[in-house]
Amino acid sequence: VQLQASGGGLVQAGDSLRLSCAASGRTFTIDAVGWFRQAPGKEREFVAAIRRRRGGRRYSDSVKGRFTISEDNTNNAFYLQMDSLRPEDTAVYYCAASRLAYNEMAYYTNANIFNYWGQGTLVTVSS
């Protein structure tokens, strides 16, 4: 499986941005897709995850109510709609895919359970 993230850019606080993650290869093996981010000087952190076959979404507390994760199964694409962006959202955003199926969405907040990673796309939010 290969993942290609895109859609990052420079925006102002309060603006919106939509990130895309295009999946190719053995995409039928993907059970869930997650978005993570890493700000300069900080550790990578979970942002959102979506489980494909059984449904389910999870968000970090810092983005809940502002970000929305979605998928387009027809095109094997995944999206992260980011609204009301804040300067603290500035980071490189990565999409990741997991072959593993978990009952509890909380497991998908752990980056270690994701098997495939995209290259990252930079989001910069100015104040």
Kindly give the confidence (pLDDT) of every residue in the chain, 127 residues in length, as a single tens digit, with 9 standing for 90 and above: 999 999 999 999 999 999 999 999 999 999 999 999 999 999 999 999 999 888 899 999 999 999 999 999 899 999 999 999 999 999 999 999 999 889 899 999 999 999 999 999 999 999 9
At 88, give phi and psi (nearest 5°): -70, -5
User: Beta 45-51 vs 2-6: how paired, if at all?
Assistant: unpaired
Tell me what pLDDT residue 95 has: 98
- Whether residue 110 contacts residue 102, with contact meaning beta carbons closer than 8 Å, is answered with no
Radius of gyration of the chain from its Cα atoms, rounded to whole angstroms:
14
Tell me what pLDDT residue 54 has: 85
Tell me what pLDDT residue 101 has: 86
* Alpha-carbon dihedral angle through residues 120, 13, 81, 112, given to the nearest 10 degrees: 40
